Structure 1
Amino acid sequence: MLKKRLLLSVAFVAVLGAPAAFAQEAAAKSNSALDEQGEIIVTAQRRSERLTDVPIAISAKTGEALNAAGVTSAQNLGLVTPGLNYAVQGAFAQPTIRGIGTSVTGPGADANVSIYVDGVYQPSQTGNLFEFNNIERIEVLKGPQGTLFGRNATGGAISVVTADPGQDISFKAGASYGRFNQVRLDGYVNAPLSENVAANLSVQYGHNTGYVTNVMTNSKVAQAESFAARGKIKFDASETVSFVLAGNYSRTDDNSPFAVRPIDGNNIARQFGVTFPSGFYEVALDQTPSIITKQYGASLTAKIDLDAGTITSISSYQRIEPNLVSDIDNSPLFLATARIPTEEDNFTQELNYSSDFDGPINFIAGAFYYNDKTTTDLFITGASTASILTSVKTVAESAYGEINYDLSPELTLTGGLRFSSEEKSARGGIPGLELVNDSTRWNSWTPRAVIRYKLDPASSIYASYSRGFKSGNYNIVFLSPTPVEPETVDAFEIGYKQNRGGVIINTSAFYYKYNQIQVQIQTNSGSGLATILQNAASAEIYGADFEFTLPVSEAFSLQGGAAWTHARYKDFKGAIITRPLRNASGVAIGGNSQGPGDASGKDMIRTPEFTANLSGTYNVPLADGELQLSANGSYNSGFFWDPANVVEEGDYFILNARVSWLSPDKHYRLSVFGENLTDAKYHFYVNNTSTGNSGAPARPWSASAAINVYF
C-alpha cells in the first residue's frame, strides 16, 4: 500500500493539468483600451480609470502592443511584465508574481495568482494556459488583491479583456507559417444584428510538428494542435441597461510539457545502463506523452447604469476535461506510465454596485459565490500498477466593499475589506476502498488601505497595505484526511506614477510577510518517510519594479521595465532536499536521494532576482503604404526550481522581432517575424524527484511569415 501511494503521489506531482487555447493577432485599427491621450484605461479597482491614476503596481498592455512584442500566449507574458514568471508544471499553469506562486499540483490545488477573462474568474490551473484571442488589453496586478479580487490573489491577479460587439461591421483574418511547420489561422467578425443587438465571433486554429526529437522512435514530440472559438452577443435593452452573453470552446492537444529530458543526464535509468542523448532538444521516452484538453463555457454580464453608479452582475459556467498520458520515469525503460482523465465543473456569480457620486466619497460593494467540483482518476501501468480515484468540491462565498474619500483635490484615502468563507470537501481512495471523506470550512478577512497624493495634475505618489488569502486544501494526492490551512500575505507598498506629455512612469517598492505557505515536506510517518502537503514555511520578500513608456517621436516609441526581487524562505524546516545518488566513490549513478532538511534562508523557487525588458516600435511612411518595425528583448537572471536550491536555471536573454508592411488603405498587412532569435536554451518546467531531474526545453528560435486582412 505504501509503495502504491508513493507511486501515485509522484504521478500526481509530475503530471496533472491541461492547457486551453485562444488566438488572434491584434487589429491595425485604433484600440478602445486607450484614452484620448493614448494612455491605457484599466479596471483594476472595478471601475474604469487611467493606468497612472490607480495606486496599484500594474503592468497593462494592449493587444496590439502584445502582438508587436511577439507575446501570443499567457505563457510568455513574462517577456513584457517585470516580476512575472509563468511556469508550466506538467500541464498546470502556475504564474509567480514577485516570488509568490505555487508548485503544488493535484485536485483542489489553487494557484496564488487569480486569473480573470472578461471579469469571469478562471479557477483551474488546468485552464490557464491559453493563447490570446481578440485581446483588447491585459492587466497584470502585482501584490495581494484580496479585497476586490478575493480568493487566491495572494501574488496578484491577471485580467484578460476581449472586445465587446459593436455596431460597426468589421472582419479580420490572418494566416502564418513558420519553422517546425507551425501553422496559425485565425478570423474575427463583428456585425450588428439590429439597432440594439450586435455580435462577434473569433476562431483560431494552430498546429506544429514539434521541436524535440524522441530518439527511441525517431519521431517528434513537443507537438501541438489547437482549435478555439469565442463569441459574444451584446443586447442594449435601453440606454442604461445592457447584457453581454459570451460562449467559448477550445480543444488542445499539446505534449510539450511532457517532452522532458534528464538535466545533466541525471535519471534513475542510468542504473540500468541506459545512456541518454546529449542534445538539448532530444529525449528518450518509451511512451509518447499526450495532453488533450477540452474546455467550454458561457457567461452572462448584465449592467444597469444609474444616475449615481452602476450595478453589474456576472454569471458563468465552465467545464474543463483534460486527459493526460505521461512517461513518469522520463526514460526508455517501461517503469511507469500515468493516465489521468479529469473532469472539472464550476459556476460563479458576482454582483456589485460601483458608485459615481459628485461629492468626495465613492465606493464599491459586492458579493461573490463560487462552486467547483473536480473529479480525477489516476491509473499507473508499468513495473507495478495502481489506481486512485479522487473528488474535491469547493463552495466559497464572500462579501466585499471599498470606499474612496477625497480629503482634498490632491489627497485621497481608500479603505476596503472582504469577508470570505470557503468549504472544501474531499473524497479519495483506491477501487473498493475509500480512504478519505472529510470537509473543512475556513473564514478570512482581507483588508486594504491606501493613501494617494497628487503632486500635480500629471503625477502622484501612494502608500498601501493589503492582505491576501489563499484557500486551504487537502492532502488528497497523498490520500490523507488532514486539511492544510490557508496562506496569508501582508503587503506594504509605496509607488510613484506619472503621465507627462506622453512620458509614462510607474515605479514601486514593496515588502511582504508571507505566512503559512502550503508546501510539500517529508516527515517520518512511523512506517518510513512520507511526503505530505503542510503549512511548513514562511518567507520575507522585498524589492522594487519600474516601467516606462517613452514616445521618442511620432514614429518611434519605447516601452520597458525592470524588477528586482529579494525572496527568501524565512523558516522552512522539513523541506524536501533532493540530491543526486552517488556510489561509494562519490560518482553520480542516476536518480536522486530525498530526505527532510532545512531550506530556511534559501531562495524561493521560480523567482529570479532581476528581470528586465525593452520594446521598441518604429513606423516608416512609404510611397505605397507603411513599414512597421518592432522588437522586444527580455532578460531573466535565473532562478532555482527547488527549495534546496540544487536545480538552477541559468540566466537567459530572449529577442523577438517583427517587420510588417501595411497597405495604404490599412486593409492588408504582410509580416515576417522571429521569436527567440538569440536561440536561448532554457526550461519552462523542471521536476526533481527520486527518478532524477527532468526539464521541458522551451522552444528554440523560429521564424514565420504572415498575412492579415482587415475590413
Structure 2
Amino acid sequence: MRKFLSTSALCSAAACLLLPVAPAHAQEGGDEGLADIIVTAEKRPSVAQRTAIALTVVDAEALKRQGVGNVADLTTLTPSVNFATNGPSSIITIRGVSSRDTNQLGDPAVSISIDGFYLQRALGLNAALFDLERVEALRGPQGTLLGRNATGGALSIVSAKPLDHFAASATVEYGNYDTFNTQGFVNIPLAEGVKMRASFQTRDRDGYRDNAPGRDADDEHSKAARIHVQFDPTPEWTLLITGEYAQTNGAGPGLQAIPWRYIAGTSNVDYSKPPVPNAGKKFPTPPGQFLRTQTVNFRWNTSYDFGPASVTYLGGYREFQLDRLNGLGAPFGSARQNFSFDQQERPNSWNHEFRITSAQDQPLLWQAGLYHFSEKNSTQSLFADFPGSPGLMGPAKYLQIFVKPDLLLKSSAAFGQASYAVTDTLRLEAGLRYSKDNKHNLNATNLATNVNNYIATGAISYVSNPPTATEISSSKVTYHAAANLQWTPQNLLYVKYDTGYKAGGFTDLNPYGPENLTAYEIGSKNRFLGNTLQINASAFLYDYKNQQVQQQITLPSGGVGTGTVNAGKSKIYGADLDLIWQPSSSDRFDFYIGYLHARFKDFVVFSGGNQQLAGNRLQQAPDWTMNIGYEHTWDVGDGTLTARAQTHFESKSYFTFFNYESDKQSGYHRSDVTLTYRAPDDRWSLEAYVRNLENEPVLAYADVTGGTWGTYRYTYQAPRTFGARLTVNF
C-alpha cells in the first residue's frame, strides 16, 4: 500500500506538471466556476493562480466556518503546515522545516506576519486571530522578499480593512467544554476620505483535560480588539493606522508525565512507547499552574502612487508581556512533583520597512526596499520547588535563577526583486536580499544549585557565575531566480531556485551558527473544464545545512538548561498535488496530497557519548499528508443550507530527532462536519459543527529524554468539540 501511494502521488504530480500543454477554454474570473483570489504573497497584488509560489489561501468564509481564533486552529486548513507547542511558544513547521529554539533570542524558521508586521517571537502567536480577510500559507523559502527567518515558508495573516459603506456583524458561539465565544465588527465611514473598522473577539472555554487536583489545562480565556482607521487624502495617497490589544489568562498546556520504564536488568531507559493512562484525557497535575499574556500592537501602513512607481512605508511597535508558572513534568506524588518553571518576559519590538514598487501591467516589474527590526527584552527564569506544598504555591526554593536584563536582537536588510516579460507568455525573475543580524545578552546572571544534593539533603548551595556579556553577529545574501511560463491564461508552469537563511545565536551554553537552505522547485497551476477544475502541483528538493536544533540537558551544576546545536546536513524532497473541483454552483470538492522525504544526512549529538543520527527523520515531518473535503448546498425557501465534511490525514512523525517510539505520533486522521443555514441576503446564518470526530489523542509536544524529572512528557491537541454559531449581519 505504501509503495502504491508513493508511486501514485509522484506520478500524479509529474503528470500535472505537464498539464499546461493542453489548452483550456475557460473564461478567467467569470460569474461561473471558481473565483480568482487576489494575494500579496510577492508584496504586490496578484491573482493566486498566476503567482509562481506553492501557496494555500484560506479566505474569510473558510476561516469563519472552521472557527479560527488562533494559530492552532489555522493549521487545520493549511496543508503541509504542522503545529506544536513548547509551553507558551508555538512552533510552526512547513515541509519539515521548523525551529525548536524558543529561547529569548531564538528565531522561527517560518515567517509569521500580520498585515506585513513581522512577529519575531514564538510567544503569543496562539491567540487573537479574528476579523480576517484571508491567510496565505507559502511553502518553501521566501528569503528575498520576506527575510532571513523564512527558510521553511511563511504565514501571512491579512485582517479585514475598512470599507466605504456601513457594515456590522455579531457572532455568538456555544459548545462543549462550556465554550462561549463572541466576535464582531462595525465599519463606519467617518468623513470624506476617512473610514474606520473596529472589531473584537472573546473566547472562553474550560480545559480539555481533567487534571485534578490541578486546574484543568488546555483551557482558553482571551479577549482581543482591533481598530483600523484609514485616511485617503487623495486618490494617490492612503494611510492606514491600526491599534490592537490581546489578553489571555489560563492554566496553559497540560503536561502529562509518565514515569520512565527501564530495560529489564539494566539502568537504561526503555524508549519504546509507554502505556498512556486514560489516553491523555485525564492525568493529575499539581495546582497553581498559570499562563498569562498581554499584547499591545500599534502599526501603520502608508503608500503613495506616483504613477510609474509607488512608495510604501509600514511599521509599528509591539509590546508583549508573559508570566507563567508550570510544572516540569516530574512524576506526580514524587519528591520532584513540584519542580516547576517560573518565567517572566517583556519583549518589545519595532518593525520598519520602506519599499518602492513599479506599476503593474508592464514588461519590467520591480521592487526594492529597506527593512529594520529590533527587539529588546528582559527576562527572569526560575527553576523552583515548593517543598511540603500540595502544588505550585507557598514559599518556594529556587534551584536555579536566570536573570537577563538586557537582551537585544537587531536585524537590517536591503532587498530587491525584478521580473521581465521576455515574450507574452514567458517571464524571467531574479532577486536578492542582504541581511545582517546582531544579538547581545549583557549583564546576565545565573545562580544554580546541585539538584541531586538538594533532593538528598534539602540544602541550597548556589554556584554563582559572574555576570556574562555575549554578542554574536551574522550576515547573509539570499537569492531568488525563476522562469514563469503562462502557457495560457489558465495554465502556469514555473521553475525556481531560492536560498533561505536563519541567523545564528547563542544559548546559555554555547554559540551556534546560521542555518542555510537551498531549494529547487518546479510547479504548475491550472484551470480546466470551463473554470470549474483547478489542479496545482509542485515538486521540490531542499539542501539543508547547519539546521539549528535544540535539546534540554542537565547542567554540571545539576540545574536545567537548553542547548542549541547545528546539525550537519539534511536532505528534503517531495511533491504535492492540490485540486479543487466545482462541478456545479451547489457542489465543491477539494483534495490535497503531499509526499515528504525529510532525513538527516549528517548529525552527531552528544547524549551518552557521540551518536550519529544520519537517516533519522526531521521533527514533525510526516511522509504523507492528505486533506479531503466535500460540500453541497441546497436551496431552502429563500435561503440556503450547506453541508460540509472534511478529513485530514498524516502518516507517522516524530517530535525529537532521536526518533524514539516514545516520541512518535502514529499516523492519524481527523474529520470535521458542518451544517450551515444562510438566510436570504445573508442577513443571518446558523452553523452547527463537530470537529475531530475520531476523538483520538494527537500530540502537540513530546519530550522523553530529560533526566532531571525521569518521565515521558506529552501535551495534546484538541479532542472532539461540537457546538453552534449564530451570526447576524447588519
Q: After superposition, where does 1:162-241 map in structure 2 within 5 Å?
A: 162-217=159-214, 220-241=216-237
Per the TM alignment, residue 289 of structure 1 is displaced from its structure 2 partner at its CA by: 2.1
Instruction: Give the 3 Å change call, closer, same or farther, for CA 404–575 of structure 1 in structure 2.
Output: farther
Q: Take 1:484 and 1:174, find their aligned partners in 2: how far apart are those partners?
A: 48
> 2:246 — aligned with what?
250
Instruction: Give the 3 Å change call, closer, same or farther, for CA 321–527 of structure 1 in structure 2.
Output: closer
Q: 2:725 aligns with which of 701, 706, 709?
A: 706
Q: Report SS of the residue matched to 2:568.
A: strand
Q: 1:88 aligns with which of 85, 90, 114?
A: 85
1:509 aligned to 2:509? no
1:429 aligned to 2:445? yes
Moved more, 492-501 or 277-286: 277-286
Q: Report SS of the residue matched to 1:282.
A: coil
Q: Take 1:45 and 1:193, find their aligned partners in 2: how far apart are those partners?
A: 32
Kept in 2, the 8 Å contact 1:602–1:645? The answer is yes
> 2:584 — aligned with what?
553
Q: After superposition, where does 1:64-143 map in structure 2 within 5 Å?
A: 64-69=61-66, 71-143=68-140
Q: Take 1:70 and 1:250, find their aligned partners in 2: how far apart are those partners?
A: 18
Q: 1:538 aligns with which of 562, 569, 579?
A: 569
Which amino acid in structure 2 is aligned with residue 556 of structure 1? Answer: D
Q: Take 1:522 and 1:378, find their aligned partners in 2: how far apart are those partners?
A: 15
Q: Take 1:301 and 1:507, find their aligned partners in 2: how far apart are those partners?
A: 34
Moved more, 514-523 or 559-568: 514-523
Q: Report SS of the residue matched to 1:66.
A: helix
Q: Take 2:168 and 2:555, find their aligned partners in 1: how far apart are those partners?
A: 63
Which amino acid in structure 2 is aligned with residue 626 of structure 1? Answer: T
Q: Report SS of the residue matched to 2:210.
A: strand
Which amino acid in structure 2 is aligned with residue 660 of structure 1? Answer: T
> 2:281 — aligned with what?
281
> 1:408 — aligned with what?
423
1:612 aligned to 2:609? no
> 1:600 — aligned with what?
614
Moved more, 301-310 or 241-250: 301-310
Instruction: Give the 3 Å change call, closer, same or farther, for CA 338–358 of structure 1 in structure 2.
Output: closer
Kept in 2, the 8 Å contact 1:38–1:502? The answer is no
Which amino acid in structure 2 is aligned with residue 511 of structure 1? Answer: L
Instruction: Give the 3 Å change call, closer, same or farther, for CA 701–603 of structure 1 in structure 2.
Output: same
Kept in 1, the 8 Å contact 2:180–2:204? The answer is yes
Instruction: Give the 3 Å change call, closer, same or farther, for CA 674–494 of structure 1 in structure 2.
Output: same
CA displacement, residues 334-375 of structure 1 (integer Å, 9 cap, x when unaligned):
341111011000001001011016542110100101111122
Which amino acid in structure 2 is aligned with residue 121 of structure 1? Answer: Y
Per the TM alignment, residue 300 of structure 1 is displaced from its structure 2 partner at its CA by: 0.8
Which amino acid in structure 2 is aligned with residue 697 of structure 1? Answer: Y
Same amino acid, percent of matched pairs: 26
1:663 aligned to 2:685? no
Q: Report SS of the residue matched to 2:127.
A: coil
> 1:694 — aligned with what?
713
Q: Report SS of the residue matched to 2:188.
A: strand
Q: Take 1:298 and 1:186, find their aligned partners in 2: how far apart are those partners?
A: 21
Q: Take 1:436 and 1:97, find their aligned partners in 2: how far apart are those partners?
A: 36
Q: Take 2:283 and 2:537, find their aligned partners in 1: how far apart are those partners?
A: 43
Q: Report SS of the residue matched to 1:552.
A: strand
Moved more, 671-680 or 490-499: 671-680
Q: Report SS of the residue matched to 2:286.
A: coil
Q: 2:550 aligns with which of 484, 506, 520?
A: 520
Q: Take 2:721 and 2:361, find their aligned partners in 1: how far apart are those partners?
A: 54
Q: Take 2:261 and 2:95, find their aligned partners in 1: how far apart are those partners?
A: 30
Q: After superposition, where does 1:240-389 map in structure 2 within 5 Å?
A: 240-257=236-253, 259-262=254-257, 277-332=277-332, 333=334, 334-356=337-359, 359-382=362-385, 385=398, 386-389=400-403
Unaligned runs of 5+ in 1: 1-33, 577-593
Q: Take 1:359 and 1:519, find their aligned partners in 2: how far apart are those partners?
A: 45
Q: Take 2:104 and 2:658, find their aligned partners in 1: how far apart are those partners?
A: 25
Q: Take 1:103 and 1:133, find their aligned partners in 2: how far apart are those partners?
A: 27
Q: Take 1:616 and 1:434, find their aligned partners in 2: how far apart are those partners?
A: 62
Q: 2:432 aligns with which of 409, 417, 423?
A: 417
Unaligned runs of 5+ in 2: 1-28, 388-396, 448-463
Q: After superposition, where does 1:11-30 map in structure 2 within 5 Å?
A: none
Which amino acid in structure 2 is aligned with residue 682 of structure 1? Answer: V
Q: Take 1:181 and 1:526, find their aligned partners in 2: how far apart are those partners?
A: 47
Instruction: Give the 3 Å change call, closer, same or farther, for CA 389–596 of structure 1 in structure 2.
Output: farther
Q: Report SS of the residue matched to 1:126.
A: coil
Q: Report SS of the residue matched to 1:180.
A: coil
Per the TM alignment, residue 222 of structure 1 is displaced from its structure 2 partner at its CA by: 2.1
> 2:480 — aligned with what?
448
Kept in 1, the 8 Å contact 2:258–2:276? The answer is no
Q: 1:652 aligns with which of 649, 654, 668?
A: 668
Which amino acid in structure 1 is aligned with residue 437 of structure 2? Answer: E
> 1:395 — aligned with what?
410
Q: Report SS of the residue matched to 1:76.
A: helix
> 2:502 — aligned with what?
470
CA displacement, residues 588-613 of structure 1 (integer Å, 9 cap, x when unaligned):
xxxxxx66422111011111111111
Kept in 2, the 8 Å contact 1:447–1:467? The answer is yes
Which amino acid in structure 2 is aligned with residue 505 of structure 1? Answer: I
Moved more, 259-268 or 607-616: 259-268
Kept in 1, the 8 Å contact 2:672–2:691? The answer is yes
Which amino acid in structure 1 is aligned with residue 179 of structure 2? Answer: Q
> 1:492 — aligned with what?
520
Per the TM alignment, residue 680 of structure 1 is displaced from its structure 2 partner at its CA by: 2.3
Instruction: Give the 3 Å change call, closer, same or farther, for CA 129–301 of structure 1 in structure 2.
Output: same
> 2:51 — aligned with what?
54
Instruction: Give the 3 Å change call, closer, same or farther, for CA 358–187 of structure 1 in structure 2.
Output: closer
> 1:26 — aligned with what?
none
Q: Take 1:401 and 1:111, find their aligned partners in 2: how far apart are those partners?
A: 23
Instruction: Give the 3 Å change call, closer, same or farther, for CA 266–65 of structure 1 in structure 2.
Output: farther
1:680 aligned to 2:696? yes
CA displacement, residues 163-188 of structure 1 (integer Å, 9 cap, x when unaligned):
11111101100111111101101111
Kept in 1, the 8 Å contact 2:132–2:159? The answer is yes
Q: Report SS of the residue matched to 1:79.
A: coil
Q: After superposition, where does 1:634-653 map in structure 2 within 5 Å?
A: 634-646=648-660, 647-653=663-669
Kept in 1, the 8 Å contact 2:431–2:479? The answer is yes
Instruction: Give the 3 Å change call, closer, same or farther, for CA 240–533 of structure 1 in structure 2.
Output: same
Q: Take 2:229 and 2:696, find their aligned partners in 1: how far apart are those partners?
A: 43
Q: Report SS of the residue matched to 1:52.
A: helix
Kept in 2, the 8 Å contact 1:309–1:353? The answer is yes
Kept in 2, the 8 Å contact 1:467–1:489? The answer is yes
Moved more, 617-626 or 88-97: 617-626
Per the TM alignment, residue 115 of structure 1 is displaced from its structure 2 partner at its CA by: 0.4
Q: Take 1:324 and 1:599, find their aligned partners in 2: how far apart are those partners?
A: 34
Which amino acid in structure 2 is aligned with residue 248 of structure 1? Answer: E
CA displacement, residues 529-584 of structure 1 (integer Å, 9 cap, x when unaligned):
996322233200000111122112111112221111000011110154xxxxxxxx
Kept in 2, the 8 Å contact 1:261–1:330? The answer is no
Structure 1 or 2: more strand by fraction:
1
Kept in 2, the 8 Å contact 1:286–1:331? The answer is no
Instruction: Give the 3 Å change call, closer, same or farther, for CA 70–631 of structure 1 in structure 2.
Output: farther
Instruction: Give the 3 Å change call, closer, same or farther, for CA 358–549 of structure 1 in structure 2.
Output: closer
Kept in 2, the 8 Å contact 1:508–1:544? The answer is yes
1:483 aligned to 2:511? yes
> 1:30 — aligned with what?
none
